[in-house]
Amino acid sequence: MSEGINEESKTLTLAQIQRPFLMDGNVVVFVKKWKKRYVVWKDDKLFFFEKNYGKEVPKEVFIMSSDTTMTTEIEQKEKKSIVRFKGVSGEIMILADESISFIEMAFKLFKSNLGCEKKKEEIEKLKVTQKEPEENKIPPWEEIKNKINIKSKINGKELQSLFKELGKTVTEYYFYSIVKEIINQWNDDEIIEFGYQQFCEEDLEDFGSLFGGRDNSSTEIQFVLGTNEENILRLLEIYMKIYKQFKLEWSELTKCLLVSMACWELFSNTELFNFIIVYLSKQFDIYQLLTFLHLYCEFESDLKLPLWHSFPSHIELLFKSFVFIF
């Protein structure tokens, strides 16, 4: 299982592996036979310890990569779910009953992080290879806006044609500004049909990044539908409508929300964050809500923001609001 792992990974103690983790907890893993282990999933490695103790060194280490696959099946004898990973470190099986949703979510976040890293590399490569004459071809925003305003309302098909006409460089340079100018005129069904079904090819995570982010032309975050509570509520209702109409998994909706909030840089010390959590408390059960908060906590920890376990004032306010909800 530990093939391809450097010696340093094998000798790291549990205390030396720094948070945030994609997940951690007690599992049963198959290593010649079924064994109880404490697993820590950090970046691309799964460390399996005999027990949850700071000075423990891993008994097994499994390395993940972009080629790693995850499948679930039912173990016939025990009638329990088995998660099977296959990758550069070989194969590993985890008997996962109650923890299966956490493992699935961690795997999706791992894959999502790989995608983000790849995108960053592509952007950096583009910056290096981009030539000055190409930059000079980018028209001013007013010229693009005039193209949009020729018609009172542009539909999804016409928006796709506009992207093709402008070309990849110009579209990426003004992407959120263009989308904001056009989508604001659409109703919810039109947004779902174009944004989710056509443009994002029914990928809810992709759809989550459609409503806010930075153009290549600016450092300012563009919010496509606006940032007041009414607009955020509309977007949340659109997410919920897709979730129910297309019968998606809860984990897909959660990942969409995490991607959206990351793109908006919407942190827990903002009023809108509290507004979103109160809304979710009416849609999720308490266990789903706490799982979402746990994942978001890891996201903020990764950005070196105030840690939740220190209970800063804005988190205390959030917890107090739950008293009236539950």
Local structure of 85: helix, strand or coil:
strand
Instruction: For the chain, give every domain's residue range.
Output: 4-127, 141-324
SS (H, E, C) 233-280: HHHHHHHHHHHHHCCCCHHHHHHHHHHHHHHHCCCCCCHHHHHHHHHH
How far is residue 154's CA from residue 183's CA, in Å, rounded to a whole number? Answer: 9
Structural tokens at position 44: 């691309």
Residue showing tokens 């990974």: 9
What's the rounded Cα separation, in Å, for the pair 178 and 167? Answer: 13
Q: What is the mean pLDDT of each run of 10 residues along the chain (326 residues)?
A: 52 84 83 86 88 88 84 72 80 74 75 60 54 63 89 88 90 91 92 92 88 85 87 94 93 87 80 89 87 77 55 61 49
Which residues are 313's β-sheet partners? none
| Best CATH choice for the domain 4-127 from the list 2.30.29.30, 3.40.50.1100, 3.30.70.250, 3.30.390.50 | 2.30.29.30
> What is residue 226's three-state secondary structure?
coil
Backbone angle region of 293, left / alpha / beta, with phi > 0 → left and psi within -120 to 50 → alpha: alpha
d(CA 48, CA 50): 7
Residue that is written with structure tokens 């945030």 in the block:
20
pLDDT of residue 76: 66
Q: What are the residues facing 46 on neighbouring strands?
A: 41, 62
- Cα dihedral 79, 243, 113, 304 in deg (nearest 10): -110
The per-residue b/e assignment along 37-53, b for 16 or more CB within 10 angstroms, e otherwise, is bbbbbbebbbbbbeeee
176, amino acid identity: Y
Neighbouring C-beta atoms of residue 201, cutoff 10 Å = 9
With contact defined as beta carbons under 8 Å apart, do 208 and 257 qualify? yes
pLDDT at 98: 56
* Sheet-wide strand order for 23-31: 60-63, 45-49, 33-42, 23-31, 90-95, 80-87, 69-75
Query: CB within 8 A of 313, min separation 6: which ones?
Result: none
If residue 230 lies in a helix (H) or strand (E), which one and from where to where?
helix 229-245
For Cα atoms 314, 319, 320, give the angle at the middle one, nearest 5 degrees: 95
β-partners of residue 221 are 214
For residue 23, the 8-state DSSP code is E
